[in-house]
A and B are shown apart, each in its own frame.
Chain A
Amino acid sequence: DTAVSQTPKYLVTQMGNDKSIKCEQNLGHDTMYWYKQDSKKFLKIMFSYNNKELIINETVPNRFSPKSPDKAHLNLHINSLELGDSAVYFCASGLREQYFGPGTRLTVT
Chain B
Amino acid sequence: DAKTTQPTSMDCAEGRAANLPCNHSTISGNEYVYWYRQIHSQGPQYIIHGLKNNETNEMASLIITEDRKSSTLILPHATLRDTAVYYCIVRVANSGTYKYIFGTGTRLKVLA
Contact = CB atoms under 8 A, between A and B. Distances in A.
| Same complex origin of A and B | yes
Interface of A: 4, 31, 41-45, 48, 50, 55-56, 88, 90, 92, 95-103, 105
Contacts of B49: 97
A43 B98 contact: no
A55 B96 contact: yes
Interface residues of B, number: 20
Interface in B18-53: 38, 41-46, 49
Contacts, number: 49
A50 B102 contact: no
A97 B46 CA distance: 7
Contact of A103 (B43, B96, B98, B105): B43
Given A48-B99, A56-B99, A105-B41, A42 B46 contact: no
Contacts of B43: 4, 90, 92, 100-103
11 contacts: A41-B38, A43-B87, A43-B102, A48-B94, A50-B96, A55-B97, A88-B41, A90-B44, A98-B46, A100-B43, A100-B44
B42 A103 contact: yes
Contacts of A48: 94, 97, 99
B105 to A, nearest CB: 6
Given A98-B100, A100-B43, 16 more contacts: A41-B85, A41-B104, A43-B87, A43-B102, A44-B102, A45-B99, A48-B94, A48-B99, A55-B94, A55-B96, A55-B97, A56-B94, A90-B44, A92-B43, A95-B97, A102-B42
B97 A31 contact: yes
Nearest to A100: B43
Given A101-B43, A103-B43, A105-B41, A45 B100 contact: yes
Contacts of A103: 41-43
A105 to B, nearest CB: 7
Choose among B41, B44, B102 the residue with the greatest number of A CB atoms under 10 Å from its CB. B44
